[in-house]
Amino acid sequence: MTPATAPRLRPTLAHVAGETPTSFVSRLAQLHLSCEPNARYFCADMGLSFGDLVKGRPEALAALADLSGADPAKLASEAFRHVGEGYVFRGELFPGQSLLRTALRFCPACLLDDCSKSSRPETVAHGRAIWSIVSIRTCPRHGMGIVEIERPICPSKAHDFAHLLKPLLPDLE
């Protein structure tokens, strides 16, 4: 396992176990951008490829780890790596139809737990990798059903968890 490096970005946030790299960069965008804080703008400003993070490309994950100080091995272990017609996650192949990565899916209780730790909930509420797996319909921690927001999501906002979640935070309960 490779240890975390000193971050080049200050301030930074901690990458949380179970969090997707796209959620992590989305939270960093909420921390650093005041006007239209979204992951694609943040990545463009930082010289990262958001599309490559979505695809779990090792060089993009390494660049994000270098920028943020996150442990590159842990960041990579939470990535869905695009291969052929599907994705590999934690050594298991998932055909594309078994994942729902562009919709907003979450356990409200998990997010309420996250938000209770900060005065800026948009920087702590994070997307869990398992929420992207269609067959997982119940939170293993809370026994609560996974909520899926069924409104159309603009393709340019897909995978930008903190940006999509921010307007919903006041109504989580």
pLDDT score, position 156: 72
Q: What percent of the chain has pLDDT over 70?
A: 95
pLDDT score, position 3: 52
Cis peptide before 21 (omega within 30 of 0): no
Q: Decide if pLDDT at 4 tops 70.
A: no
Q: Smallest Cα–Cα separation from 101: which of 127, 71, 138?
A: 127
Look over the chain and give the mean of its residue pLDDT values, rounded to a whole number. 92
Contacts of 120 (CB under 8 A, 6+ apart): 30, 31
2 half-sphere exposure, CB direction, 13 A CA radius: 16
Q: Decide if pLDDT at 153 tops 90.
A: no
pLDDT band at 34 (very low <50, low <70, confident <90, very high): confident
Q: Smallest Cα–Cα separation from 54: which of 136, 124, 158, 126?
A: 158
Name the β-bridge partners of 106: 147
SS3 call for 113: helix
Q: Smallest Cα–Cα separation from 57: which of 14, 87, 19?
A: 87
E strands in 25-137? 81-83, 86-89, 92-95, 104-106
Averaged over 80-87, what is the pLDDT?
95
pLDDT score, position 115: 94
Averaged over 39-52, what is the pLDDT?
96
pLDDT band at 1 (very low <50, low <70, confident <90, very high): very low
- The least confident of 3-7, 12-16, 154-158 is 3-7
CA dist list (Å): 61 to 8, 66, 82: 15, 9, 13
